[in-house]
A and B are shown apart, each in its own frame.
Chain A
Amino acid sequence: MATAELDIYHLVKLQAVPPDWPGGFWWHWLFFTVVIIGFVLTMVMGVIYIERRGMGRMQSRLGPNRTGPFGLLQPVADAIKVLLKENIVPTAADKLVHWLAPVVAFAPALMLFAVIPFQNGALLADLNIGILYVVAISSVSTMGIFMAGWGSSNKYSLLGAMRNVAAVVSYEIPLVLAIVGVVLISGSLSLNQMVVAQDIPFILLQPLGFLLFFAAGCAEINRSPFDLMEADSEIVAGFHTEYSGMKFAMFYLVEYAEAVAISAVITTLFLGGWRGPLLPPWLWFVVKVLLVFFAMVWTRTTLPRIRIDQLMAFAWKFLFPMALLNLFITALQVLADWPAELAWAMIIVNIAVMAIIILIWSKFFFRLGGGRIEV
């Protein structure tokens, strides 16, 4: 009996965690640290290019096209420009906090990639609580942003930082509840296991969960239409109003590194991670990340920025009950032990349920503004 259990354990272990590819603990650590840093920096440059060119074309412009072929070197030119700029620190600023904030904000964005598999088993640390780690770490960068807002001793910075904290605290809940649905289906908290479990991408099995996670994730990293914290028409540039030179570049980097990180998490949770035919796994991963990021750019160009009351109402009156319902339905389906052969039926049922729930909720329950009749 004991041996059989051990064998099963061994089998599962073998399947989930393939042999440590570069070999040796420290070599593994060094290799993946270098890979992650290189991956994040190159991806940031790539997504900046995609964002600026894509947004330009969506607004009937061309976007930057002067530096290098097709303007490919624009991020490099920006980086050089911003590096050579003067670093100005306000006299009234809390110097240490002001100096430390970009680092505190940037580190979590990088640390997120520690648990994201680039292919089967190719990740820095295959934590068995991977997704919990993601949720925990991603909130830390809010700390850096609040430090920036506080340390600048500028009312606009502080307002922006406060808005960010409010948004993150509210949107963390639907975000996590959307993740729980995926966890229920895959039966594991490890991101690598989740990808292994995705014979059908979870976007089909969890369409509502995907939408919730996408919206809440965009709000979490303060991308438009939830970019209230740097609403330039109201509060200059929000928390990084008083930043210049390399520190500003760090915040710029954080913005896009977080966008890449959220795209990577969405890819891993909902789009089947590195899995895909023909192409090598890491390439599938990169392609999917870029696709998700493009969707973010797309929504950014389309949707106008929402007000703070709309932001809160959307989180608490729409996403939160939707996430609870999604969790409930998913739990029922898992409890009922839906047969694996009938996965296609589950896809249809879930998409129909999503449409019905969204329609009913927005028709009968979702209202903005407490005291006013029509908003």
Chain B
Amino acid sequence: MKFERYGIGIAKGLTVTIRHLLRHPTVNQYPEQRLNISRRFRGNELVWNQEKCTGCGTCAKTCPQGAIEIVTSTDMTENKYVVEKYEVDTGYCINCGLCVESCPYEALYFSHAFECARYRRGELVQGKEDMLETPERKVSGYFYPDKAAKLPKQTLLVEKITEKR
């Protein structure tokens, strides 16, 4: 004998909604409250280490979108390549992470920034200066567990942060 037909189902539903009313809301007020994103975040932007980079161009070759453009010249006195131009069009980036994984000299990382919206398409292109590591532009722990250990732990629940009602 199913009791759902006699209004028991409705009563159950009503208790569910009233429990939700008394419960903590699961949303967060985004600009004021931010949850910590994953430590191994595959960011849209890249962070590039100028000292470690040898200008080999592996990243550019492995990029399936061809979004990385690298131009080098030879420095005969020091006997090495000089990176003249290093540009990433993040508008084409598919966040596959192959460039980061393929770099033989650990010179390329994902950025930990997630607010990458721009007003113009041209602004999506990252130049050499926009890719250096700064306190604001943190390195994501993707593919580098030692970097990940330094980042704050991911928060999934709103209860962890103070709330504005």
Query: A and B: real partners?
Result: yes
Q: How far is A358 from B3 in the complex, measured between Cα atoms in Å?
A: 12
With A302-B10, A358-B6, A362-B6 given, is the CB distance from A61 to B17 under 8 Å? no
Partner of B25, one of A54, A62, A298, A359: A62
Indicate with 1 or 0, residue by residue over A268-310, a CB within 8 angstroms of chain B CB atoms: 0000000000000000000000000000001101110000000
Q: How many Å lie between the Cα of A180 and that of B27 in the bound state?
A: 47
Find out whether the CB atom of B20 lies under 8 angstroms from the CB atom of A363.
no
Tell me whether A302 and B13 are in contact in the complex, defined as CB-CB below 8 angstroms, given that A57-B20, A59-B20, A358-B7 are known contacts. yes
Q: For the complex, is A60 an interface residue (Cβ under 8 Å from B)?
A: yes
B1 to chain A, nearest CB (A): 9
Docked-complex contact B5 and A58, CB < 8 angstroms: no
A60 to B26, CA, bound (A): 6
Task: Tell me if A65 is interfacial: C-beta within 8 Å of chain B.
Answer: yes
- B74 near A: Cβ within 8 Å? no
Check if B16 is an interface residue, CB within 8 A of chain A.
yes
- A328 at interface, CB cutoff 8 A: no
Q: How far is the CB of A321 from chain B (nearest CB, A)?
A: 16
A61-B25, A62-B27 are contacts. A302–B14 as well, Cβ < 8 Å? yes
Total residues of chain A contacting the partner, CB 8 A: 19
CB < 8 Å A-B pair total: 45
* Pairwise interchain contact A62-B23, C-beta atoms closer than 8 A: no
Is A9 in the interface zone, CB < 8 Å from B?
A: no
Closest Cβ neighbor of A65 among chain B residues:
B165
A60-B23, A62-B25, A70-B165 known; A363 vs B18 contact (CB < 8 Å): no
B24 to chain A, nearest CB (A): 8
Q: Is the CB–CB distance between A298 and B17 below 8 Å?
A: yes
Check if B76 is an interface residue, CB within 8 A of chain A.
no
Q: Is B116 at the interface (CB under 8 A from chain A)? A: no
Question: B117 at the A/B interface (Cβ < 8 Å)?
Answer: no
By a CB distance below 8 angstroms, the chain A residues around B13 are 302-303
A20 CB, nearest partner CB in chain B, Å: 43
Residues in A neighbouring B20, C-beta threshold 8 A: 57-60
- B155 interfacial by beta-carbon distance below 8 Å: no
B82 CB → nearest A CB, Å: 52
Q: In whole angstroms, how far apart are the Cα atoms of A54 and B14 in the complex?
A: 13
Of all chain B residues, the one with the shortest Cβ separation from A66 is B29
Task: List, in ascending order, chain B residues with CB within 8 A of A54's CB.
Answer: 21
Q: In whole angstroms, what is the CA distance A58 to B16 when docked?
A: 9
Q: Which of B5, B6, B7, B25 lies in contact with A60, CB distance below 8 A?
A: B25
A57 to B26, CA, bound (A): 9
Closest to A299 in B: B14
Q: A73 CB to closest chain B CB, in angstroms?
A: 15
Q: Report the nearest A residue to B26, measured CB to CB.
A: A60
Shortest Cβ distance from B22 into A: residue:
A57
Expressed in whole angstroms, the Cα–Cα distance for A176 and B25 within the complex equals: 41
A293 to B23, CA, bound (A): 21
A359: chain B residues at CB < 8 Å are 6
Contact flags (1/0) for B151-165 with A, using CB distance below 8 Å? 000000000000011
Closest residue to B18 on the A side, CB-wise? A298
User: Are B16 and A302 neighbours in the complex by a CB distance under 8 Å?
Assistant: yes
Give Cα A60 to B5, complex, Å: 27
The contact sample of 14 A-B pairs, CB cut-off 8 A, is A58-B17, A58-B18, A58-B20, A58-B21, A60-B25, A60-B27, A62-B27, A65-B165, A298-B18, A303-B13, A358-B7, A359-B6, A362-B5, A362-B6
Q: A302-B14, A303-B13 are in contact. List 5 more A-B contacts (CB 8 A).
A: A54-B21, A58-B17, A302-B16, A362-B5, A363-B5
**The 8 A-B residue pairs with the shortest CB-CB distance in the complex, in nearest-first order:** A302-B13, A58-B17, A60-B26, A302-B17, A57-B21, A58-B21, A301-B17, A58-B20
